[in-house]
A and B are shown apart, each in its own frame.
Chain A
């Protein structure tokens, strides 16, 4: 076919050749670009079919949701025995929190989303009012969950457990460690020797010690260091340790972000007559935090999953509850189901955090919008 001729300067924008764009183009480029690639695609599809067929069958269609024991489960069907979960779902969620008082946990959990919404989504309507709620939420949740005030029945820490414990530890740790991490990162860059030295010592010590050691210290030794008469509950001590541990990591992540900011940014701010705190608030932190989002989220997810370590000091997180369930002779040997369930819970939480951080990164990307 002969190429059509155009006057110079009047060549039009032509559509791309057929089969190079769109779904058809994608499939051809990615799945069937050569003979070997096509073979691989076909074999993979067949393998996936058998795998998924078996897995879905075990998970859903052949699974048993209601039974009194493992033996009964096996009599009914060949798939997963989810009865071990459904019979104890209350324990998995609330630990040994008294059944009649569990509404308090439900309310605290649901209102938590309202408290977080204005912090996580800056464009939300009525943000200023919601922020006031975010501010009082910690006290509100503390009173509601712990009780002991306003005639609400006091519940002992030792009854806390399950996913509720994970969320309390994880969320408190995450919320407290970010500001401390920011201060440590700034402290480490400070021109004041005392502040810099303290920050460096704290960060290096916390990073240099295994978390599990810190948890043992929290459970057994911390009371020796406290003035006599103070008696922090084990839960508070554990939260402090989680907070310090991840604050040290976050400080280093943010320091990386601060150092990635070009020198010209500070010079421009200096030339405009801005003070140190103005520079920090308006120039350094917004840019450093944006750069550090993936690293900060990494640390948060790590912290959240590390809350399972509290099982070694006798707190009943979901893994502890699971072990208790498996110790029951009726459910002996159902570890696959139990641990998969716990894993699913963690996966859902962590995946949500990961998606949020991706969303935030895109939102803050001002380079080419």
Chain B
């Protein structure tokens, strides 16, 4: 287990009694969650349980209808100024990478820093190369995403998010679209990121990653947080029956 010494207790994400509906479908029910600076939370649960929707609410890719979400002391409302401030502090990595196919790897990484953060082009490129080196693909910088393997694309996506120098990183099933032999390279990148003290919320089925990195594991089902615990207790001693059933399904294969 990775130990992070500079963990403070000030929550960077506060979610209070938050609800969301898709039409008439009540997809998130009474979610309350505090995330501290430097904390690493893994969210798991069966498909359709609302775990992706939950983290997409945190940077307002989905809009919640009731309750409060406060990120970095800014409340998420319809106000565009707040929204842009939050989005440049919160990085997101998607299941399907979502790299921009018409731009090179380097341009993918520098686009937002140059235009959103108004960084000079040279500084943005230096930063991008530094982060591409950190995810171990600096030699691919001038290629297009379509020329890379899935694992490489996902590492570029991680570097692209980090180029905005976010305080929080959201991962929405980052390894689900990858071939088995590529999952490890992406997980290794995420573990290294965790070691730097980044605040991370990770939706994943990779329980090995959860055991190794997470400070806290959340189990969601049917739009509710069923159980939240530290990984040791979560895996060895689950309290809720649904958690037990879920764990038996994904661990015994």
Contacts and interface: CB of A to CB of B under 8 A. Distances in A.
Interface of A: 262, 264-265, 267-275, 278, 282-283, 286-287, 290, 364, 366-369
A292 to B, nearest CB: 13
A366 B101 contact: yes
B61 interface: yes
B102 A364 contact: yes
B100 A283 contact: yes
Given A271-B61, A271-B92, A290 B102 contact: yes
Contact of B98 (A265, A275, A278, A286): A265
Judged by DSSP, the binding face of A is: helix
Interface residues of B, number: 28
Interface in B114-147: 115-116, 144-147
B167 to A, nearest CB: 13
A290 B112 CA distance: 21
B140 to A, nearest CB: 13
Nearest to B164: A272
A268 B161 CA distance: 9
A369 B144 contact: yes
A270 B61 contact: yes
A64 B47 CA distance: 80
A363 to B, nearest CB: 12
Interface of B: 59, 61, 84, 87-88, 90-92, 94, 96, 98-103, 111-112, 115-116, 144-147, 157, 160-161, 164
Given A282-B115, A367-B146, A368-B146, A267 B100 contact: no
A33 B160 CA distance: 53
Contacts of B100: 265, 268-269, 282-283, 287
In the complex, which of the residues B98, B99, B146 has the most CB atoms of chain A within 10 Å of its own CB atom? B98
A276 B91 CA distance: 18
B35 to A, nearest CB: 17
28 contacts: A262-B96, A264-B96, A264-B98, A265-B98, A268-B98, A268-B99, A269-B100, A270-B59, A270-B61, A270-B87, A271-B91, A272-B88, A272-B111, A272-B112, A272-B160, A273-B87, A274-B115, A274-B116, A282-B100, A282-B103, A283-B100, A364-B102, A366-B147, A367-B101, A367-B144, A367-B146, A368-B147, A369-B147
A302 to B, nearest CB: 27
